[in-house]
Amino acid sequence: MNNKKYFFITGKAGFVFNTVLLIALTGCLSFADGQSIRITVPAPVVVVSPPVVIDPLVVVAQDNYVYYPNYGVYYNTTRRQWAYLDGGAWVSRPAPLGVSADVLLASPSVKMDFHDSPANHHAAMAKRFPKIDKRVRSDQKDTGGDEHGRK
């Protein structure tokens, strides 16, 4: 009952096998330890394109505005947008806020001669074109004088 199993094979063949196994495992360990993985990411390539040349035959439409002084609202006839102050900031929207487009279109208006943002001109336009009070105009009689009847 003295049957012991050994992990290593004994004898001359076992010695050779165990030696080869030991060398193979030692070589694999040192070889695996020496391996490294390198991931390289190339630098981004920036391509600078030449400036875009607009065809001289292409006509770029200018913004044209109509000002409605009773409401402080501008209509951009080119873009079909309404521009006005909303909470201290200029906005451009497809519909005016707080009043219908029909009411605005029926009110007095002035065609503007500038083609940039109304924000750049509104202070001057508000002084130049004050609100028109319709009640005074409808109450006036044609007496040939001013609104107080003076000649």
72 within 8 A of 110, measured Cβ to Cβ: no
pTM of the predicted protein model: 0.50
pLDDT at 76 (0 to 100): 93
For 12-56, write each residue's pLDDT tens digit.
Answer: 777 777 787 777 776 655 445 556 677 777 777 766 656 656 666
Q: Which of 68, 67, 65 is nearest to 134 (CA)?
A: 68
**Euclidean distance between CA atoms 93 and 51, whole angstroms:** 31
pLDDT at 142 (0 to 100): 44
Structurally, the chain folds into a number of domains equal to 1
Residue numbers in the chain where pLDDT is lower than 50: 30-31, 135-151
79 within 8 A of 63, measured Cβ to Cβ: yes
In-domain check, residue 20: no
In-domain check, residue 69: yes
In-domain check, residue 145: no
